[in-house]
Amino acid sequence: MADTPIPDEPGLVVHAPPGKQRWSTACPSAAAAYRCLCGATGSASGPAKVLVLLEEWGLHIECSPYRMVMEEVRRLHGDPPSSSSWPR
């Protein structure tokens, strides 16, 4: 399977196999792609490569306008700020 086309707008796209609503690491036809606000892009096919891509995408959450929102939510809940603003 060829790598998934990069989205036109910033965001992450993870494709579920035909007939399924959710993607799984057990799916041999796993595919994902992202475009970040900073200009970085990536795409992958296959479970192992998609997992690496998801980790890469997670590093780009700092570029997201939602980062500040997540930090405020953490502050309001009394959670310490994280080095990565991605919700855990």
Burial class (CB in 10 A: 0-12, 13-18, 19+), 72: exposed
pLDDT in tens, 15-71: 877 777 777 767 788 889 999 888 899 999 988 898 899 889 888 877 776 666 667
Q: Which pLDDT value is given to residue 52?
A: 92
Residue 69 structure tokens: 């929102």
pTM of the model: 0.64
Rounded-to-integer distance, Cα 56 and Cα 81, Å: 21
pLDDT in tens, 75-84: 788 776 555 4
pLDDT in tens, 13-27: 888 777 777 777 677
Q: Which pLDDT value is given to residue 59?
A: 85
Rounded-to-integer distance, Cα 5 and Cα 13, Å: 9
What is the widest separation between alpha-carbon atoms in the chain? 45
